[in-house]
A and B are shown apart, each in its own frame.
Chain A
Amino acid sequence: MERKNVSSIDYLLLIPGVGFILLFIGSSIFITITQSFGVLSVTGKSQFTIENWKAIFHDKESLDSILFSLKIGLLSSVGTLLFAFPIALFLRKGGAGKRFLASLIKIPLFIPALVAAFLIINLISYHGIVNEALLALGIIKKPLRMLNDKFGWGVIVIQVWKNLPFVLLILSSSLASIRDDTIDAARNLGAGTFSVLFRIYVPLAMPGILVSMILMFIKAFGDFAIMSVAGPTYPPSIALRMRNTATLFQEWDKAAVLGVIIILTTLFITWLYSRLAEFVTGRK
């Protein structure tokens, strides 16, 4: 690293990148916050008020949306982890055919989320291939209603399908940093498969697990497109409700309150992650 010449020029060079991001993200957050209090309102009068905030907290519909989005975010991220972790472990060591397998797994990473949603809704419809296969195997007697179901299974399946490779890539690289001698040493000391898994792999891969979980949670929590295509009739996800409130009902101030709630949740989760990461890795 060059340590000399720490000058203001360095900060100037940051402007095109960091400055650009700060300008756009910052201004949109700023507008969201001011508008949630009725200031800088685009729909006519501009006046400070906390009425919109009060209204949201008395509104069961918005609360339902928040809880629903939280649930989908949590279940999608945990669900993806459960699938991705064993595969990542398996792929850790090279072997015949594993390269091919790895590129097969990567395909959904390059399939846009909306396309992924469409691919999956084709399969999980009432007489879609999944239901027909389960019927043929005698596992179920009547087709399951998975599309636009009340619980949101359809959305979760799509999130898992789409994001599995993403989580896998991050997990793989954190598993790759675990040295083989650590594991050999543990085995020689008589550690069984389970204790190797839970005492070595999981703790050492924890930073990767946390990052992938956080990114997936944020994606699924703030998701608009997949929820609007495969989500239940009620409740709409919070991002969907926000967009409809703004563009369909033209109540931008109320939408801004929802926007602030989404931002705060996201920030809180990210903060929680950084604390957890510090705790796990034991460093500051």
Chain B
Amino acid sequence: MAATKQKNLWYVRQARRKRRFTTLLTVFFILVQVIWVGVPIFMTVLWSLVDPSHPWSFPNILPEKLSWGQWIYVFKYTNILRALKTSYTLAPCAVLLSFLFSLPTAYVLGRKQIPGKKFFQTIVLLPIIMPGMVVALFLSRVFNAFGLAQNFFGLVLAHTLMGLPYMIRVLTTSFEAIPQDVIDAAENLGANTFVKIKDIFLPMVRPGLLAGMIFAFTTSIEEFNLTFIIGTPTFETIPTILYSFLGYNFIRTNASVVALIMMIPNIIMLFAVENFLKSDYLSASLGKL
């Protein structure tokens, strides 16, 4: 009797020790992560605040003086406002278009048993699989021929192309998840196609739709290759501006400001929509090729 009690106690202690160890490890990982993600961002914030008349150079570990000078410069003289406007009008257009295009396709892929389904599902992933620069460079020849290069509508099409895979894959999974009985019941009650779409399909795919929209939106915001080849110099988005500050015009302070402008909305969005971003959406959309 005493021995079993002893043994039980040992198990409890063991479990407690294990839990404490896990907690310690969690804290350790959080610390590592804060350094891993926090330090790069913190350094960039510092660089963006360097006062133009007090250069930050070696061997100073920290800048001598901080000011908003670099931010004022970037907003006053660079095309950042125009780029912000382009980026944030382009993205909603592309999201909307990719939603409209993917809805029927996702419906078929998610609910119908058709020959060649696997093939179509692979085709859908092509924009992600195909190397961006190759597609951009040679699609630009096609776009040139049809007057779509250096053209806002052409850019929307290009961004739609990049958003479609996420949208279709996520929506397909959502359509798959709708129980057949619900649809059968609705049909028995005499629901027509329009009612079915409005009252069953759309509400039931909404969570997936949101996840898909977020992926398509961020894809559009950070799309570089196609925009760079097809859109610049007529249209600048934030990534193409940042590229110029990192390449030929490498100026660390300006690049820092642009990098932060590009990054902050995304991080805010990440925390705002955490719930919709459960890993299952991503793995559902990309889990198999």
Chain A residues within 8 Å of B130, by CB:
25, 29, 263, 266
Task: List the B side residues contacting A32 at CB < 8 Å.
Answer: 134, 138
- Chain B: CB-nearest residue to A126: B58
Question: Are the CB atoms of A18 and B274 closer together than 8 Å?
Answer: no
Question: B113 contacts A173, CB within 8 Å?
Answer: no
For the complex, what is the distance from the CA of A113 to the CA of B144, rounded to whole Å? 27
CB distance from A107 to the nearest CB of B (A): 5
B263 contacts A104, C-beta separation under 8 Å: no
Contact between chains at B61 and A1 (CB < 8 Å):
no
Q: How far is it, in angstroms, between the C-alpha of A6 and the C-alpha of B117 when the chains are bound?
A: 12
Would A10 and B112 be within 8 Å (CB), given that A123-B39, A259-B137 are in contact? yes
**Which of chain B's residues have a CB closer than 8 A to the CB of A173?**
279-280, 282-283, 287
Please state if A221 and B131 are interface contacts (CB–CB under 8 Å): yes
Q: Hey, which chain A residues are within 8 Å of B127, CB to CB?
A: 21, 24-25
**Option from B30, B43, B242, B267 in Cβ contact (under 8 Å) with A114:** B242
- B167, chain A: closest CB distance, angstroms: 8
Q: Which of B6-14, B66-74, B77-85, B101-109 contacts A (4 or more CB under 8 A)?
A: B101-109
B114 touches which of A11, A111, A129 (Cβ 8 Å): A11
Please tell me if A22 contacts chain B, counting CB pairs below 8 Å: yes
**Which one, A58-66, A179-187, A192-200, A208-216, is touching chain B?**
A208-216
**In whole angstroms, how far apart are the Cα atoms of A255 and B23 in the complex?**
54
A48 interface residue, CB < 8 Å from B?
no
Report Cα–Cα, A11/B119, bound state, in Å: 13
- Category for how many chain A residues contact B: 35 or more
Once the chains are docked, how many angstroms separate the CA of A29 from the CA of B247?
28
Residues of the B chain whose Cβ atoms lie less than 8 Å from the Cβ of A166: 282
| Smallest CB separation, B180 vs chain A (Å) | 7
Contact across chains for A266 and B129 when beta carbons are under 8 A apart: yes
B191 interface hit (Cβ, 8 Å):
no
Q: Does A134 belong to the interface (CB within 8 Å)?
A: no
Q: A13-B105, A31-B141, A97-B27 are in contact. Are A122 and B47 (CB under 8 A)?
A: yes
Complex partner residue of B123 from A3, A18, A42, A123, CB under 8 angstroms: A18
| Known A1-B111, A112-B263, A266-B130: A228·B247 in contact at CB below 8 Å | yes
CA distance A1 to B23 in the complex (A): 44
Taking a contact as CB atoms closer than 8 A, the residue among A29, A96, A120 that contacts B23 in the complex is A96
- Neighbour of B271 across the interface among A3, A103, A113, A129, CB < 8 A: A103
Q: Verify if A17 is at the interface (C-beta below 8 Å from B).
A: yes
Q: Which residues of B contact A109 (CB under 8 A)?
A: 270
From known contacts A118-B246, A239-B134, A242-B133, infer whether A211 and B266 are also in contact, taking CB-CB under 8 Å: no
A211 and B224: CB pair below 8 A? no
Asked if B289 and A95 make an inter-chain contact with CB atoms under 8 angstroms apart, the answer reads no
The answer, yes or no, to whether A163 is at the interface (CB within 8 Å) is no
Please tell me if the beta carbons of B255 and A24 are within 8 angstroms of each other in the complex: no
* A31 near B142: Cβ-Cβ < 8 Å: yes
Which residue in B25, B111, B286 is a CB contact (below 8 Å) of A211?
A: B286
Complex CA–CA separation, A65 to B167 (angstroms):
34
B78 to nearest A CB, angstroms? 16
Q: Is the CB of B104 within 8 A of A16?
A: yes
Q: Which residues of B contact A22 (CB under 8 A)?
A: 123, 126
**Known contacts A169-B279, A214-B289, A222-B133: does B138 contact A113 (CB below 8 Å)?**
no
Q: Is A100 among interface residues, defined by CB-CB distance under 8 A?
A: yes
Q: With A and B bound together, what is the CA distance between A274 and B30 in angstroms?
A: 36
Given the complex, which residues of A lie within 8 Å of B29, measured CB to CB? 87, 90, 101
> Of residues 38 to 85 in A, which have CB atoms within 8 Å of B's CB atoms?
42
Q: Is the Cβ of A24 less than 8 Å from the Cβ of B139? A: yes
CB-nearest residue of chain A to B167: A17
Interchain CB contact under 8 A, B225 and A108: no
| Contact indicator A211/B288 (Cβ below 8 Å) | yes
Q: Which residues of A contact B279 (CB under 8 A)?
A: 169-170, 172-173, 176
Least CB distance, A22 to chain B, in whole angstroms: 6
A sample of 14 cross-chain residue pairs with beta-carbon separation below 8 angstroms, ordered by A number, consists of A13-B108, A14-B104, A20-B161, A22-B126, A28-B135, A90-B25, A104-B30, A106-B277, A115-B242, A115-B259, A172-B279, A173-B283, A174-B287, A207-B288
Q: 20 more A-B contacts (CB under 8 A) besides A115-B242, A170-B286?
A: A1-B112, A10-B112, A13-B104, A18-B123, A21-B161, A32-B134, A110-B263, A114-B222, A114-B243, A115-B263, A118-B44, A119-B259, A218-B129, A218-B131, A225-B243, A239-B133, A262-B131, A262-B134, A266-B130, A270-B129
Chain B residues with CB under 8 Å of chain A are 19, 22-23, 25-27, 29-30, 33-34, 36-37, 39-41, 43-44, 47, 58-59, 61, 100-109, 111-114, 120, 123-124, 126-135, 137-139, 141-142, 144, 157-158, 160-161, 164-165, 168, 180, 183, 218, 221-222, 224-225, 229, 239, 242-243, 246-247, 252, 255-256, 259, 262-263, 266-267, 269-271, 274, 277, 279-280, 282-283, 286-289
Shortest Cβ-Cβ A-B pairs, 6 listed: A17-B105, A222-B131, A112-B222, A173-B283, A119-B40, A13-B104
